[in-house]
Amino acid sequence: MCRRICLVLLVGTLSLSGAGANDPVNLAGGALIMHHPPEVVMGGECNVQLPTVGDQNPRIDGLPGDLVTFYVIGAFAAPREFCGFQFGFGEFDPSIFTFMDWGSCAGVEFEDYLELASSGWPGPNEGTACVSTVGSWDGFIVPMYYFTGIAYAEGVIPLDADPTHDMAAFTNCESWMGLPELFEIHKDRLGALGIFTDGKPVEPELSIRWACCADEECQLLSAADCDALGGTWLCGLLSCTPDPCKVRACCLEGCQCQLMTELECRDAGGLHISRILSCDPNPCPQASDGPQGSPGLTGSSSNTRMSWGAIKVLYR
């Protein structure tokens, strides 16, 4: 799997106009994961940690009669913001699992939320819908619902549409004509929990194209294509200009030279010299004492003192 680095701080630097699928309120392509963390017995606080989609565990092992907890988790290929969701269970044998406690993670995170569940929830062919009225869920991998109970026998509990609305969906925080905007979740991205057997792992749609660094070359690729190249996927970065992948000499104030990408250099307040591949010899002007003891800069073959601004102009 390729490395994925999320450049949240770049949003203020790069233009997002026309981003389309990269819009944080565009919830298309999301998935619902069924995840059982073996170390969690009671799950009411929804503090489950799932670092990556690849860490999901859609299977309960152990012994019949064990008390266990599992979660429904929303997963996206890039950071998303949503205010509601709806889903249900498909057909399964209710004798394989006895539900003792369940609830929306909205009840943990928000003071005010609304849940509308079918009369037999949670059970086969039943469902629920939940919306927050005071806040939103944000992120790539977001716990949404928990279930605690006793596992008794082998079987699978599949996710499915909420039968009340005949849809599994995320709801963003915008509305049109007073109605929430729904993004239906494709059935191939609805997971299933296996009890003493394999479940169904799922992933979000990964076709969103971000910058990918492979062999110091930048390309706009999907996560899967970046993975195939063994690259680092810079999710959140929509452009290869400035090139985030080239490591070149960076002159920092104080005349220090370090090898950095242009973005790293800029963030450090330095000057990126794209044509210089090494800091040996040091391409940055040497320091000397300026007036009143303030630091100044001199050229390596000159005693003429230069300001930091003048040095930047020199190398541009």
SS3 letters across the chain = CCEEEECHHHHHCCCCCCCHHHCCCCCCCCEEEEECCCCCCCCCCCCCCCCCHHHCCCEECCCCCEEEEEEEEEEEEEEEEECEEEEEECCCCHHHEEEEEEEECHHHHCCCEEEEECCCCCCCCCEEEEEECCCCEEEEEEEEEEEEEEECCCEEEEEECECCCCECEEEEEEEECCEEEEEECCHHHECEEEECCCCECCCCCCCCCEEEEECCEEEEECHHHHHHCCCEEEECCCCCCCCCCCCEEEEECCCEEEEECHHHHHHCCCEEECCCCCCCCCCCCEEEECHHHCEEEECCCCCCEECHHHHHHHHC
User: Is 8 domain-assigned?
Assistant: yes
Q: Is it true that the peptide bond before 122 is cis, omega within 30 degrees of 0?
A: yes
Domain co-membership, 241 together with 259: no
Residue whose tokens read 């990269």: 22
What's the pTM? 0.61
> Whole domain around residue 4: which residue ranges?
1-16+206-245
Q: Beta strand 59-60 with 84-89: parallel, antiparallel or unpaired?
A: unpaired
Residues 179, 232, single domain; the answer is: no
pLDDT at 140: 87
Which residues of the chain fall short of a pLDDT of 50? 1-2, 6-20, 289-306, 308, 310-316
Q: Do 137 and 117 share a structural domain?
A: yes
When divided into structural domains, the chain yields a total of: 3
- CA pair distance 298, 80, nearest whole angstrom: 49
Separation between Cα atoms, residue 200 and residue 72, nearest integer Å:
13
CATH number of the domain within which 87 lies: 2.60.40.680
Question: CA separation (Å) from 250 to 19, 84, 182, 224?
Answer: 31, 46, 47, 32
* pLDDT value, residue 290: 44
Q: Which of 80, 85, 72, 84 is nearest to 36 (CA)?
A: 72
Pair 252, 234 in one domain? no
Mean pLDDT taken over the chain: 80
Looking at residue 294, its pLDDT comes to 38
Per-residue pLDDT at 79: 86
Same domain for 57 and 139, yes or no, is yes
Does 312 lie in the same domain as 239? no
Residue 207 has a pLDDT of: 63
Confidence at residue 122, expressed as pLDDT on a 0 to 100 scale: 97
